[in-house]
Amino acid sequence: MRVIKSLLVFSIVFLIGIQEIQAQRGHGRTKVTVKKTHNGKRVKVVKTKKYSRKHVVVIKKRKVRTVAILPVGYTTLIFKNNTYYYHNGLFYTTSAGVYKVVSAPRGVRVKVLPAHQTIIVNQVTYYYTDGNYFVLDSGEYKAKEAPVGAIVSILPTDAEEIQIEGITYYEYESYLYKKVSTGYEVVGKLED
pTM reported for the whole predicted model: 0.69
Residue 95: predicted pLDDT: 83
Confidence of residue 54 (pLDDT cuts 50, 70, 90): low
Percent of the chain with pLDDT over 90: 44
Higher pLDDT, 37 or 66: 66
Say which range, 36-40, 123-127, 133-137, has the weakest mean pLDDT. 36-40
Mean pLDDT value of segment 31-51: 50
Residue 59: predicted pLDDT: 56
Higher pLDDT, 144 or 15: 144
CB within 8 A of 9, min separation 6: which ones? Answer: none
3-state DSSP helix/strand/coil percent for the chain, to nearest 5? 15, 50, 40
Whether 28 has a pLDDT exceeding 80, the answer reads no
pLDDT digits (tens, 9 = 90+) for 142-186: 999 999 999 999 998 888 888 888 888 899 888 999 999 999 999
Whether 78 has a pLDDT exceeding 80, the answer reads yes
